[in-house]
Amino acid sequence: MSDVMDSQKPKIAVDDLSVTFVQGRRRVAAVKSVSFAVRPLESFGLVGESGSGKSTVLRAICGLAPVSGGDIRIDGKAIAEPRDKAFARRVQMVFQDPYGSLHPRHTIDRVLSEPLSIHRFSDREDRVVQALKDVGLDARFRFRLPHQLSGGQRQRVAIARALIVEPEILLLDEPTSALDASIQAEVLNLLTRLREERNLTFVMVSHDLAVIDHMCDRLLVMRGGEAVEALDRSSLADRKVASDYTRALLTASEGYVR
């Protein structure tokens, strides 16, 4: 599989990306000249402590953070600015807080039906029922409100909403960090299954190296908005790391990372 992926063009290429937030006279460099490439069908991880800039990278890809330098390409082509409907069909994002990302007064049926309407899918009712089934929820959840669901169920709905328009790429921003430990593994296993079934490319952000090790083929360690080092799964397993910062992350994950 790796030889096949190496021969292909990157699905996502991030080159010398910088993101700067301007607040009055204050400028905050959240991401500083970060580069990486994600192969087709790969699961790629961005890991680092809070404030490292990893989530900002995902938001920049989606057009939710101001790019001040560098470029982002999908299948070798620059992303439209601003992001358009065609981009949303191909790239979807799952956010950290499943409750905050769902409208509190919209039923699950409406949450899932709206993207189908926007992208003019037919057979919407059947697609909603199937989307719920795909994430392990039955049709009776359709007419519930988000507050009537558990955290794990809400995140399953958020995943269903992202996948219902049949994207090629899923951006995952700490998708299990707001969940109980007992539920985290269920959601991670669900994501792994869906990636294989749907031939998806993942970019996953986490502060937890154990989660990234479980989910990702390769990863980029970030700190203070900068890239620290790139690793593959075997290097991580063998503790072949170059930076003291990555070693500290490994120590914090001791007993969880294989």
Model pLDDT for residues 13-48, shown as the tens digit of each residue: 999 999 999 988 899 999 999 999 999 999 999 999
At residue 255, the pLDDT reads 56
The C-alpha atoms of residue 74 and residue 91 are separated, in whole angstroms, by 10
> pLDDT tens across 85-123, in order?
999 999 999 998 877 788 999 999 999 999 999 999 989
Query: Class of 2-252 per CATH?
Result: alpha beta
| Cα distance between residue 186 and residue 91, in whole Å | 23
The domain ranges of the chain are 2-252
* 4, amino acid identity: V
257 has a pLDDT exceeding 60: no
**Tell me: the pLDDT tens digits for 142-180?**
999 999 999 999 999 999 999 999 999 999 999 988 788
Of 102, 111, 186, nearest to 147 by C-alpha is 102
Q: Is the pLDDT of residue 4 over 50?
A: no
pLDDT digits (tens, 9 = 90+) for 174-219: 998 878 888 899 999 999 999 999 999 999 999 988 899 989 999 9
**38 three-state secondary structure:** strand
